[in-house]
Amino acid sequence: MEWLVPVLIVVGVLVLLGIYLWATYNSLVQLNVRVDEAWSGITVQLKRRADLIPNLIESVKGYAAHEKSVFENVTRARAETLNASGPAEAGIAEGHLQQALRSLFAVAEAYPQLQASQNFLQLQHSIVDAEDKIQAARRFYNGGVRELNTKIKVFPNNLFARGLGFTEREFFEVADGAAISEPPACSFDTRSLNAPQAR
């Protein structure tokens, strides 16, 4: 009967290890799904904003058709955003698009009639709303990535997490942080027909 105690100890350790692995695996799966869901939310908002951009370009083009290079830059940056295959590429594309949109809104500043156009103002407000939602989705996604990556890296999870198929995920970081520090904004100038003006 002396052998029974060591056997029970070994069985107890194996049971505890099995419970730990089961719980850890399930939590990693949940975190992974949460990150996938958060990335899906970002792509939805990026697509929503991208769908607004052609109309915005056409609105400005009606007043400033000679600004061809600005329109080409915005169109190119929009395509880059839509074709990005992951967070790293999307982050680079996002910086390019923000710079291009700022150039487009700078062109619009020179045309008071355009700034007073209800169509243009509605598009501009929709773009600003999309920018805010992208920022919120990016924070949610990066929070999930941070939690998942930490769970994978901590000991003893780091001994088996990769063997179970879990790898660290990329953050959605924009290369030029200043480009997204403030979305294109609207201000209201009561001196011009009480119409909203683009900044």
Model pLDDT for residues 59-74, shown as the tens digit of each residue: 888 888 888 899 999 9
Cα Rg of the chain, angstroms: 25
Structure tokens belonging to residue 76: 């190119």
- pLDDT in the model for residue 113: 86
Residues 42, 170: Cα–Cα separation, whole Å: 14
CATH number at residue 88: 1.20.1440.20
Q: Check: CB of residue 72 under 8 Å from CB of residue 24.
A: no
Number of domains in the chain: 1
What amino acid is encoded at 157 in this protein? N
Which residues are bridge partners to 198 per DSSP? Answer: 186
The domain of 53 spans 4-198
- pLDDT in the model for residue 50: 93
- pLDDT in the model for residue 5: 79
Cis omega before residue 54 (within 30°)? no
Q: Measured at the alpha carbon of residue 151, what is the angle toward residues 40 and 165, in degrees to the nearest 5?
A: 70
- pLDDT in the model for residue 178: 52
Report residues of the chain scoring pLDDT below 70.
1, 175-199
Q: Which of 88, 96, 112 is nearest to 189 (CA)?
A: 112
- pLDDT in the model for residue 31: 95
Model pTM? 0.77
- pLDDT in the model for residue 189: 42
What amino acid is encoded at 40 in this protein? S
Helix axes 118-153, 4-61, angle to 10 degrees: 160
